Structure 1
Amino acid sequence: MKKKTTIYDIAAKLGLTAATVSRALNNNTKISFNTRKLVLETALEMNYEQNKLALALKSGKSYNVGVIVPRIDSNFFSSVIRGIEEELYPKGYHVIICQTHNQENIENEKINSLVNVQVDGILMSISNANLEANKGLNKLLKNKKTPLVFFDRKKDIKGISSVTIDDFKGGYDATKHLLDQGCKRIAHLSNDRNFEIFRNRYLGYRQALLDNGIEFDESLVIETQSNVQDGRRAARLLLDMEAPPDAIFSSSDFAALGAIQEIKESGFNIPEDMCVVGFSNEPFTRFMELTTISTVDQFPLDMGRKAAQVFLEEVGHTEDVKTTQNIVLTPELIVRRSSSKK
C-alpha cells in the first residue's frame, strides 16, 4: 500500500518545520503569502490529503456547509451553488447540497439533517414563505449555533444576513422597456406573492405602469408557477380576453417560454402582436432558434459568491462583533427579439 503523504514529508522537502507547514495549509496569515503558496503547491504535487476529522476535532469545525435550494434543475440555482463552491472550496470547506422541491416538510427535514451532522453554517433560499409554519427554520433560529445566510428567497429576520437582487427594479425596468416599445396593455405572470421576490417584481411592474400614466388592471395579473405548462395556461387565459394584452412581463423565464409557445400556436406573431419579457436569464432564453427571449439577469454566480463571503465573514468574527449584512445586487435587463419592436 502506498504511504500517505504527511505534513512531515512536505516539511522535509521544503526545509520547513512541520508547524509552519500545518499553519500554511490552514491559511494562517502569520505565514507569508509566498510560503503558503509554496506549501499548497507542494502539497498538491505530493498528493497530500488533510485529515478532516483531526482538523475538526482541533478547530471545533466540520468544514462542511449546507446549501438549501427549492430546486437544482434551473440555471439560476445551479449557478448560485457554483458561486458558493468557488468561494468556499479554496478555504477548505465542502458543500452539502439539499433541494426541497418547494415542500415545507422536506425543507424541515433538510435543516434538521444539516444541523445534526454539525455543519458550520447553512446558506438557504426558502421554499416556504410562512415563517411561522416552518418548524425547522424556527428551531435553527432559536439555537443560534449554526450561522444562517439567506440568498434570493429570504425572510426579514433580525440578525440574519441575506444576499438578494433588487427585484422591484427588475420588474420596473422590464415593464418600462415594454412601454417604450409602444405597448399599452401589459399583463404580468406573477408567482406566489407571499414570497418577497415575486411581490417586489409585481410591485415594480405596477409602479412602472402608474409612473407612465397607464391605469393598473388587476385582471391582467395571472398567478403562475415557474414552469412552461403554467405559462401556456396563463397565455390562453389572456388571449381569450375580450381585449387581450399587447405584452407580457413574466416573473419566470419558464412561464415566459410557455406563453410564447401558446401565443405562436394561436397564430400571433412575437413581438409584432405581443411582446414578452421573462426573468432570470436562463440559458435557453438566448438560444431560441427564431425568438430569443428578453429577460432580467439576476447574476446568480455573483449572488453565490457574495453569500459565501458573508458566511466566511460571520464565522471569522466573535458573536459580539458580528454584523448583519443585507446585500442587494443590481439586476440587468437584457433585450432580445421577443420584445424588440424598434
Structure 2
Amino acid sequence: MKKGKSTIHDIAEKLGITASTVSRALNDHPRISENTKKLVIKMARQLNYQPNNIASALRSGKSKLIGVVVPTVNRNFFSSVIRGIEDIANTLDYKVIISQSYEDYEKEVQTVEALLNARVDGIIASIAKNTEKFDHFQKVLDKGIPLVLFDRITNSLEVSQVVIDDHYGAYQTVDHLIQQGCKRIVHFTSPKKINIYKERLRGYMDALQDHSIPFDPLLIEESNMQLEDGRQSMLNILEKNIPFDAVFSSSDYAAMGAMQVLKERGFKIPEQVMMAGFGNEPFTSFTDPPLTTVDQKSIPMGKETAETFFELLKSDQKKDSPQKTVLKPELIIRRSSQKK
C-alpha cells in the first residue's frame, strides 16, 4: 500500500468502482445502493480514510465547521457558553472548532485568520480584554461570512450580538445590598474598555443614585479582576482607611480574593462587611460564607448565540440588519449578603 493519506481513489481502486461513486456513497447519495455504501464505508475504515474538509468545503461551499473564539476555556462561564453552542450545532450536524485568545489582541487576530483559512462557515467570538482594534472581525464581515459576538462585544462593528443585561444584574445586586442596610459599597471594576465592566459600573452608580447615596470614587478599585487582583484591591481599600460596609465585585474571582483578605484581617462576613460577586462560578456556593452572585445564564446564552448564527447562515446577512439579543441575568442571594 502506498504511503501517505488514503484518498477516495484508493478506495475506488480496491473496490473496482469509480471515485465519483465512492464520493457519492460516502455522502449518502440516494442513487447509490445500500450494499455499495456499506462496502465503501468498510473499505474506508480499513484504509483509515480521512475526508479532506477543506477540499469538501471548496466543492460544496460548506465546511459544516464553526469557529468559536473565547478569551479562555478555564472559566465556567465560557465553557458553559460553548456547551450551549455545541448543543445547537450538534443537532444540525455542525462541528465546533474552539480557540483561545488568552486575552491577547495579536493572538485573537491570528486565530481569526487561521479559522478563515480553515474555511469555517462562520465565527462566534467573545472579545479579548486587550482588543481595541477590530479590523480582523471587519475582514470576516467583508467576506460575507457570518459573525456573532457574545458577552464581550463592541459597538464599532455592524454585527449581531448576544449579551446579558449587565446593568440590570449590577443594579439588582447593589439594590439588594442597600436593602440590607449597606451605604458604603466598594466596587471592583476593570480599567479595560470592555462593555460588560462599563455596564456593571453604570448599574452600581444608578442604584446608588436611586437611593440618594452619594458616589465616592475612593470606593472604586480597578484591576484585571483575577483572584490576586481582588486581594490587592482589598488591601488598597484597607490602606485608604475609609469606612465601607460592603463589596460588590464585577468578578467572582476578585470577590474571592477580597474575602480572603478580609477574613485574614479578622472581619466578619456578613456581620461587618457584606459581599457579592458576578458570574456564579461553581466555587461561589462553597465559600464560607457562600457568596452572593449574579448568574449570567451561560448555557442559554450559548444556545441563543448559536441560533442567531444559524439564522444568519441561512439568510442573506447583507440584507438583514444585525440583531442584538439581551438576556436577563439572575441575582442569587446567599449568606455573604444576608442579615442573620
Change (3 A) 1:17 1:55: same
Change (3 A) 1:103 1:158: closer
Change (3 A) 1:52 1:91: farther
Larger Rg: 2
In the alignment, what sits opposite 1:176? 175
For residue 163 of structure 1, what is the amino acid of its counterpart?
A: V
Change (3 A) 1:120 1:166: same
Change (3 A) 1:234 1:314: same
Change (3 A) 1:270 1:18: farther
1:296–1:332: 8 Å Cα contact kept in structure 2? yes
In the alignment, what sits opposite 1:34? none
Change (3 A) 1:50 1:83: farther
Residue 240 of structure 1 aligns to a residue whose secondary structure is: helix
Question: For the residues of structure 1 that align with 2:191 and 2:338, how far apart are their CA atoms?
Answer: 28
Question: For the residues of structure 2 that align with 1:190 and 1:89, how far apart are their CA atoms?
Answer: 36
> Once the 2 structures are TM-superposed, how far is the Cα of residue 65 of structure 1 from its aligned partner?
0.7
In the alignment, what sits opposite 2:38? none
Change (3 A) 1:52 1:20: farther
Alignment of 1:98-109 (within 5 A): 98-109=99-110
2:285–2:291: 8 Å Cα contact kept in structure 1? yes
Question: For the residues of structure 1 that align with 2:174 and 2:317, how far apart are their CA atoms?
Answer: 43
> Structure 1 length as normaliser, TM-score?
0.83
**Matched residue pairs, number?**
310
In the alignment, what sits opposite 2:112? 111
Question: For the residues of structure 2 that align with 1:67 and 1:8, how far apart are their CA atoms?
Answer: 31
Task: Please provide the CA RMSD for this pair.
Answer: 2.8
In the alignment, what sits opposite 2:140? 140
Question: For the residues of structure 1 that align with 2:205 and 2:91, how far apart are their CA atoms?
Answer: 44
In the alignment, what sits opposite 1:160? 159
Q: Structure 2: where are the runs of 5+ without partners? A: 1-10, 16-21, 35-40
In the alignment, what sits opposite 2:19? none
In the alignment, what sits opposite 1:81? 82
User: Does 1:308 find its partner at 2:309?
Assistant: no
Question: For the residues of structure 1 that align with 2:99 and 2:167, how far apart are their CA atoms?
Answer: 28
In the alignment, what sits opposite 1:336? 334
> Structure 2 length as normaliser, TM-score?
0.83
In the alignment, what sits opposite 2:277? 278
> Once the 2 structures are TM-superposed, how far is the Cα of residue 134 of structure 1 from its aligned partner?
3.8
Question: For the residues of structure 1 that align with 2:259 and 2:317, how far apart are their CA atoms?
Answer: 51
> Once the 2 structures are TM-superposed, how far is the Cα of residue 240 of structure 1 from its aligned partner?
2.4
1:129–1:155: 8 Å Cα contact kept in structure 2? no
> Once the 2 structures are TM-superposed, how far is the Cα of residue 50 of structure 1 from its aligned partner?
11
> Once the 2 structures are TM-superposed, how far is the Cα of residue 19 of structure 1 from its aligned partner?
7.9
Alignment of 1:180-195 (within 5 A): 180-195=179-194
> Once the two structures are superposed, what CA deviation does each residue of 1:244-286 show, in whole Å capped at 9, x if it has no partner?
3110100000000000000000010000010110000000001
User: Does 1:235 find its partner at 2:219?
Assistant: no
Residue 261 of structure 2 aligns to a residue whose secondary structure is: helix
In the alignment, what sits opposite 2:268? 269
For residue 59 of structure 1, what is the amino acid of its counterpart?
A: S
> Once the two structures are superposed, what CA deviation does each residue of 1:268-325 show, in whole Å capped at 9, x if it has no partner?
000001011000000000122x311000000110111111000100011124543421
1:67–1:123: 8 Å Cα contact kept in structure 2? yes
Q: Structure 1: where are the runs of 5+ without partners? A: 22-42
For residue 221 of structure 1, what is the amino acid of its counterpart?
A: I
- Farther-moved stretch of structure 1 (187-196 vs 108-117): 187-196
> Once the two structures are superposed, what CA deviation does each residue of 1:57-93 show, in whole Å capped at 9, x if it has no partner?
5531111111111111100000011111111012111
Residue 84 of structure 2 aligns to a residue whose secondary structure is: helix
1:115–1:146: 8 Å Cα contact kept in structure 2? no
1:152–1:164: 8 Å Cα contact kept in structure 2? yes
